Amino acid sequence: MKKSDIDPMPAFFDRYINKVEDVDLLEALEMHSPEALFSDTDSLHALGDLVYAPGKWTVKDIIQHCIDTERIMSYRAMRFARNDQTPLPGFEENHYAQNTLASERTLEDLLDEFEIVRAATLAQFQNFNEPMLQRSGKASESFISVGALGFVIAGHALHHMHVIRERYFPLLDS
């Protein structure tokens, strides 16, 4: 499945999906892997606990958020691929962020976990056939397909790496 095969494009989640190239879903997940996106570990280390504005997350908080979100989206994909039509609730990302131990973990530990989660995500999506990828369900009050959830996963991490590059890396020059 390619991004252009998503029909309909889910509102709200389109902002993550549209960041990804029109490639095969598995290729997108591999292209935008944690290892590829968060490879500038020297800069990530140098940022430490810096934030670009009061109340914003640290880089470690962002990585933990990406891990949590990928797990939730993968769970949703599994449920819908199995044709479970039970509506799934949303989640409050700020509540999750306030209840982690990201600040007590090392950057390497977080990135290792993220790579393990992505490997599990890839294994899951490799075993979905086309009819499964086309199935959809209701999550966060919106209908979304299994394939679209896969592209959300790839695009969400990419979105946050763009935020780090645009808003956090300039802090290293000041």
Position 49 scores a pLDDT of 95
Tens-place pLDDT, residues 7-32: 999 989 999 999 999 999 999 999 99
Cα distance between residue 174 and residue 74, in whole Å = 39
Q: Domain 3-173 adopts which CATH fold?
A: Four Helix Bundle (Hemerythrin (Met), subunit A) (1.20.120)
Are 17 and 148 within 8 A, CB to CB? yes
Domains of the chain, residue spans: 3-173
Nearest residue to 21 via CA among 34, 33, 4: 4
Would you state the pLDDT for residue 137? 97
105-115, pLDDT tens digit by residue?
999 999 999 99
How high is the pLDDT of residue 167?
Answer: 97
| DSSP state, residue 173 | G
pTM: 0.96
Q: What is the pLDDT of residue 174?
A: 73
Fill in the DSSP letter of residue 3. Answer: G
Q: Using 70 as the pLDDT threshold, list the residues of the chain that sit under it.
A: none
